[in-house]
Amino acid sequence: MIATTRMFGNAVGDIDSIKEAIATYTSRAAEKLRRQHSAARVINVFVVAKGENHNVDFRGATHSGYVTLPTATSFTNELIKPAVALVDKLYEKGTLYKKAGVMLSGIVPDMSIQGNLFLSENKNCERKLMDMIDNINFSQRDDVLKFAASGTTRDWKMRQDLRSPRYTTRWNELYEVT
C-alpha cells in the first residue's frame, strides 16, 4: 500500500479545494508507485472532518471510499479521475475538513500488466510521458509540471512556518556568514 496524506493548513469547507488536494496527493502517490516500477488496482480516498473543539473529531468524522480499477495502472491521469470522483461522494456541504489522503493498494509489478491489442498506439507512450514529468519535477524539486486538477493557488496547503532551514539542500536557504 502507498499512502499520501496531509493535514490542511486551515480547515477547508469548499469541495474544489478538497478536489485539488486529492488530485495533488494522488499525483504524489502515483510518482511513488512509478519509482517502485509498480501499478495499483485499488484507490482509496478519505477526508477527516474538523471537530467542534477545533481538533480532529474521531467519532465517525472520517469519510472514506474506494474504487477498484479495471486494470492496474501507474498513470497519474488514470488515477486522478476516480479519486476526484470519490470526493463528490464523500463531501458533505457545510462541513469543515482538516485532513485528506489517498491510498493505493492492489499493487502489482508494472511489467505484469497485460497489454491490450485494441488500444491506440498513443496509450503506449504514456509511460514515457510520466517518466519525463517525474524527471523534470525531481530535478527542479518543486512540482513544475502538474495536472490542472491539482490547482494553481493551493490555499489548502500545509503550513510550514516552523520548519527548520534547509541549508544543505536548498541554495536559496544557504546559511551566510558575514
Which pLDDT does position 57 carry in this prediction?
A: 45
Our measurement of the distance from residue 60's CA atom to the centroid of its chain's CA atoms, rounded to an integer in Å, reads 23
What are the 10-residue block averages of pLDDT along the chain, 178 residues in total?
Answer: 90 90 93 92 93 51 88 91 94 90 93 72 72 84 77 69 76 78
Cα(132)–Cα(114) distance, integer angstroms: 23
Whether 138 and 35 have beta carbons less than 8 Å apart is answered as no
Which pLDDT does position 60 carry in this prediction?
A: 43
Residue type, 59: R
Which pLDDT does position 124 carry in this prediction?
A: 60
Which pLDDT does position 144 carry in this prediction?
A: 77
Which pLDDT does position 101 carry in this prediction?
A: 94
Which pLDDT does position 52 carry in this prediction?
A: 55
Which pLDDT does position 48 carry in this prediction?
A: 92
Beta strands, E only, the chain: 2-12, 38-49, 62-73, 97-105, 108-109
Which pLDDT does position 2 carry in this prediction?
A: 95
Hey, what domains does the chain have and what are their CATH numbers?
2-173 (3.30.1490.100)
The sign of the dihedral angle between the CA atoms of 128, 129, 130, 134 is: positive
Cα(176)–Cα(178) distance, integer angstroms: 6
